[in-house]
Amino acid sequence: MKFINIFLIVAIILNFNFLKADEIKTENKIAKNLRCLICQGQSVHDSDSEFAISLKIVIKNKIQEGLSEEQIYNFLKMKYGEWILYDPVFNRNTYFLWLLPILIFLAGGAIIIKRFYYKK
Amino acid sequence: MKSRYIPSILILIFLITFVIFFKGLKNSNIYTPDTNLKKEVPSFELKSFENDSIVISEKIFQDNDYYFMNIWASWCIPCKEEHEFLMELKKNDKIQLVGFNYKDNFTNASSFLKDLGNPYDIILSDKDGTASIEWGAYGVPESFLVYQNKIIKRFIGPINNDDLLEIQKIIR
């Protein structure tokens, strides 16, 4: 009887962990994509500053309220501006940043093609 | 013909890189939030500092008065610096001071107020700092001037005499 009881308790605890695992995963993913505003070199996930600790709680609460990842990013962008996101949004200020690697890649490709195909 | 272009292209690339980095040198990479924002006051529910009754934000900021929302903590040294200006601001009856006790314990916070005086009309306790995040705050001390349910000015760090004069000019 005792054994069964213990087994049941362990099974229940394990089940709860299983339910929670998914939430923690998204929670960490969001926290890793956020810049800690006080400790600039770190993400919110890495930081243990008061601000980061609170922000992690906020993210957790928002997930439990049923907000999607996108909605949480938008919420934080509204509060703190785009600076808090590590992944910059594509707009007038950042198009150079986004397009430059593609341009360099294309230019490099063009040089390679020119070297190898037109030589023959 | 090829060798004629290469030096000029190299110089051009160097110049572009130089200009970009030189401009970047002057850009501040410290987070500087907008201080003149016309944002709505966020809604929140917090426990009162004195007793455990729950206070709703809509009940605090409902009148047509000016409100000065100040985030403070007894463990925060700059909060002591700004305290005399808060006491000065309290003398003005056109403004109400709302205190956000940030991640503090009751004993320390009450002895802080006992020693330096209590400038606040209402004190709420933000135990885990989540309500401060709703306001867009990221540290202590931080203050918001609220009028007609809108944040009209934001003060990062301790307020000084100039800030005090500015507030008094706005609410006059």
Domain boundaries, chain A: 2-87, 90-120
Distance between A21 CA and the closest CA of chain B, angstroms: 23
DSSP β-ladder status, B54-56 and B142-147: unpaired
Give the count of Cβ contacts less than 8 A between chain A and B.
43
Which one, of A80, A35, A81, A51, lies nearest residue B73 by Cα?
Answer: A51
pLDDT digits (tens, 9 = 90+) for B40-87: 888 888 888 888 888 888 888 877 788 999 999 999 999 999 999 999
pLDDT digits (tens, 9 = 90+) for A9-26: 887 777 666 556 677 888
Residue B3 lies inside a defined structural domain of this protein? no
Instruction: Tell me which chain B residues have a C-beta less than 8 angstroms from the C-beta of A100.
Output: none
pLDDT digits (tens, 9 = 90+) for A25-58: 888 989 998 988 888 788 999 999 989 999 999 9
- Cβ count within 10 A of residue A80: 21
A2-87 adopts what CATH topology? Helicase, Ruva Protein; domain 3 (1.10.8)
Which one, of B76, B135, B83, B166, lies nearest residue A50 by Cα?
Answer: B76
Read off the CATH number of the domain in which B44 is found: 3.40.30.10
The number of domains in chain B is 1
Give pTM, 2 decimals.
Answer: 0.74
Tokens encoding A78: 């509204």
pLDDT digits (tens, 9 = 90+) for B122-136: 899 988 888 898 888
Residue B127 lies inside a defined structural domain of this protein? yes
Q: Which residues, numbered 26 to 85 in chain A, qualify as contacts with chain B under a Cβ-Cβ cut-off of 8 Å?
A: 35, 37-38, 40, 50-51, 53-55, 57-58, 61, 79-81, 83
A36, A48, A50: best to mutate for the B interface, most B CBs within 10 A: A50
Residue A46 one-letter amino acid: D
Q: Which domain range does residue B96 map to?
A: 39-171
Residue B23 lies inside a defined structural domain of this protein? no
B19, B130, B144: best to mutate for the A interface, most A CBs within 10 A: B130
Q: What is the ipTM of this complex?
A: 0.76
Band of residue A120 on the pLDDT scale cut at 50, 70, 90: low
